[in-house]
Amino acid sequence: AQSVTQLDSQVPVFEEAPVELRCNYSSSVSVYLFWYVQYPNQGLQLLLKYLSGSTLVKGINGFEAEFNKSQTSFHLRKPSVHISDTAEYFCAGSSNTGKLIFGQGTTLQVKP
């Protein structure tokens, strides 16, 4: 079955510390992968996407993610977080029908 799994439901971190949000996908998911961010009371906004080419993908707001085919992972990282990064983050992979399969979401809580 196609699935995307986010391994942490909540990640608390102090401001200016590095963070990693983990995402694994099933091998049956097509290898188009996305990270979206949702700020409180808003819709989802694309952070970055992997389609092909370089396995290190850079996105907005200083985020990056690394596609690892052997580990079927697409972890999101930021070297130094800000209070304004507090939000919910969703990993998603595409199916071959054009639909996206979403993970359960990870709440990033940045503390001062």
Partner 1 sequence: DVKVTQSSRYLVKRTGEKVFLECVQDMDHENMFWYRQDPGLGLRLIYFSYDVKMKEKGDIPEGYSVSREKKERFSLILESASTNQTSMYLCASSSPGGSSYEQYFGPGTRLTVT
Contacting residue, 26, 42, 68, 71, with partner 1 by CB under 8 A = 42
Site for partner 1 in 60-89 (CB under 8 A): none
Region of 19-27, 56-64, 67-75, 101-109 interacting with partner 1 (CB under 8 A): 101-109
Q: Residue 97: which residues within 8 A CB-CB, separation 6 or more?
A: none
Burial-class residue 2 by CB neighbours within 10 Å (0-12, 13-18, 19+).
middle
Cα separation, 72 vs 23, whole angstroms: 9
Contacting residue, 46, 56, 60, 83, with partner 1 by CB under 8 A = 46
DSSP 8-state assignment for residue 2:
-
Judged by the rule CB under 8 A, the positions of this chain that interact with partner 1 are: 6, 9, 32, 34, 36, 41-46, 49, 51, 90, 94, 98-100, 102-105
